[in-house]
Structure 1
């Protein structure tokens, strides 16, 4: 059967064809973007973070009295809490930080080499004020220099040394081999450590940009973070004790949450994960509705053309030809709907990109999703096409 005749048959059913094309286009748009979002979320959740996600626990909390939120009572509180955490069985190391890692945003500063400010100035670098054991908790590798062993206060006379992640050091100093001792606007470089995932507010490469200073925070009006690294298999047991241990140390605190870094990572991508799940459910429902609609349309079309099919059989048309002819009508309709669906998918992709981080469509994904849609429609119209092959030529010609 020629393409022109197939199109003519479709145009004879204008309303049904238009509705089916709209349904196919919407289904493909949802399917394409749900696959794209699910793929991106999977890649983000499985990208290297430089952190031991399962064995590292963070506690986000805040003192409830103003005196405990500022120096000197704050420093005393931090030290008491760290001592209590180290005494919990299964804890390898504990530390404090002014903010957690694997977050959307936080405390940031511009960072630059004072000898080359114009070229090296990097805005929005996450700045961590941490205790000496912070690096032991994260279990990072020291690539250059030595880690500070004692907390130093931030003042105008003696700035604490700055510890940089490898990616940040590379960006600041453009591959210079030895940078320990170089002066930054926040202080001299003390060490360079392996990368870890800090904040998501920047691009893919910048998530590894982090600077740390071993110094106690002067105030924590927005709270602070306690970090623990546990022995393998001890994370759950340690977590169960954290609330009671910390409240025994100081009852005037509010604990916002206790999470492993694996949970923190899932929380970071909760919007993408939730939207991917929602789109997947909607796509599955739309595929089901599209299959039902395709089946109903094909079945009704076969019944309506019962006599025509019988005449074709009487004139020598084989069962295989009748079967392929009816499937071809569904295939042409699906391909037209797929072309319209790709246009709808581009519009939906741009709309989603305004809400979440979403990559643009690539060339091969529309082909895969169109193939899925074509397979689903073929599966739905298989039985009505098979029924058409059973039409008896003698019965059809007798009815004429």
Structure 2
């Protein structure tokens, strides 16, 4: 069938055609970006964390007594709480930290090699106050040097993560003994996922220092036997209340829950766009079905005359479908542009990779298939028009 005749046919129904094109354009844009977001959310949530997500519990606390917020009363309180938690059956290790892994933000500072600030300075590195048992509590892997000991308390000795060491020294084993603005490096541990909005989510620097104040609270971390996680969680509140009633236990969560929250924004947006694109796809199929059915009824006489002049059913079927294919093709072309525009807007809100060309092209093929399925029945009805009936109506 001639493209000119197809365009003329579409122009006869300008408003209906325009609405269908808008619908197809938005459907393809949503479909492409929802798949992109879903793919990214899956990849992010399956990155190695370097952590025991299911058996590590994080407790967020804040003293309600002003006298307990400052050192040394604060340090004494933390040690008493840790001693009580270690008495709970199933608790393997317990440690204090100023912040937990898998946060969006927290206590950060810059890190650079002494004397080379201009070339090695790294912004936004998580600063973690750690004690000797934090190594076992987080089940860290030591790569080079040693972990912090009790003798390192309030000294300038620090441990850093492997990725941070490589960023500063190109090879992590070269980091041992090097002096940074944060302190002297005595050890390098395997990477852990620490902060989402740090310079890199695997960067981390660990001190063994007292926490001077806890105006915003502090964290206790537990490493628990897998079969005892639920039982331990039930006993935490009572154990901590017995140590000190003047304490606000803000939350007790596993690192698994923090990990889910870590990527909640991408996951939630991916689900929302997937639902919207699915609904738009259904609506586009309904619109294509209605459009083809209405058009077929309007052209019954014309189709009957064509049948009387020798047009086969297959030719009529292709003619009706060709109109839907042309409309979908134009909508897909506009949708390709809309897909990239939507991706650019989403990228200003969340971290989003570039949209690969194959994704909207696959979306366009999916759209074409759905529209073809939706149009098939109305097109099949059009082929059943009797030449005799059509000519009598003229």
Measured against the shorter chain, the TM-score band is over 0.9
Write out the 4+ residue segments of structure 1 that deviate beyond 4 Å after TM superposition.
none
Alpha-carbon distance in structure 1 between the residues aligned to 2:9 and 2:58:
65
Aligned match of 2:126:
126
Q: Is the 8 A contact 1:151 1:216 kept in 2?
A: no
Moved more, 101-110 or 311-320: 311-320
**CA deviation map 1:282-318 (0-9, x unaligned):** 2222112111111111100000011111112222222
Aligned match of 2:205:
211
Aligned match of 2:267:
273
Tell me the CA shift for residue 193 of structure 1: 0.5
Tell me the CA shift for residue 151 of structure 1: 6.3
Q: Does 1:165 align with 2:151?
A: no
Tell me the CA shift for residue 60 of structure 1: 1.3
TM-score, scaled to structure 1: 0.94
Gaps of 5+ in 2: none
Tell me the CA shift for residue 178 of structure 1: 3.2
Q: Is the 8 A contact 1:342 1:366 kept in 2?
A: yes
Gaps of 5+ in 1: none
Q: How does 1:180-191 map to 2 (within 5 A)?
A: 180-191=176-187
**Partner secondary structure for residue 101 of structure 2:** coil
Q: Does 1:31 align with 2:25?
A: no
Q: Is the 8 A contact 2:162 2:172 kept in 1?
A: no
Aligned match of 1:229:
223
Aligned match of 1:256:
250
TM-score, scaled to structure 2: 0.96
Aligned length: 394
Alpha-carbon distance in structure 2 between the residues aligned to 1:48 and 1:78:
31
Alpha carbon RMSD of aligned pairs, Å? Answer: 1.5
Tell me the CA shift for residue 211 of structure 1: 0.6
Aligned match of 2:76:
76
Tell me the CA shift for residue 153 of structure 1: 4.6
Q: Is the 8 A contact 1:145 1:190 kept in 2?
A: yes
1:119/1:262 CA distance change after superposition, 3 Å: same
Aligned match of 1:135:
135
Alpha-carbon distance in structure 1 between the residues aligned to 2:8 and 2:17:
11
Tell me the CA shift for residue 63 of structure 1: 1.0
Pick aligned residue for 1:178 from 174, 177, 183: 174
Q: How does 1:108-123 map to 2 (within 5 A)?
A: 108-123=108-123
Alpha-carbon distance in structure 1 between the residues aligned to 2:245 and 2:367:
59
Alpha-carbon distance in structure 2 between the residues aligned to 1:360 and 1:202:
22
Tell me the CA shift for residue 115 of structure 1: 3.9
**CA deviation map 1:298-345 (0-9, x unaligned):** 100000011111112222222222112211211110111111122222
Alpha-carbon distance in structure 1 between the residues aligned to 2:313 and 2:237:
74
Aligned match of 2:334:
340
1:269/1:176 CA distance change after superposition, 3 Å: closer
Q: Is the 8 A contact 2:125 2:204 kept in 1?
A: yes
Tell me the CA shift for residue 152 of structure 1: 4.5
Q: Does 1:378 align with 2:372?
A: yes
Aligned match of 1:328:
322
Aligned match of 1:102:
102
Q: Is the 8 A contact 1:299 1:384 kept in 2?
A: yes
Aligned match of 1:296:
290
Aligned match of 1:282:
276
Pick aligned residue for 1:309 from 300, 303, 306: 303
Q: Is the 8 A contact 2:129 2:210 kept in 1?
A: yes
Tell me the CA shift for residue 258 of structure 1: 1.6
Alpha-carbon distance in structure 2 between the residues aligned to 1:215 and 1:138:
18
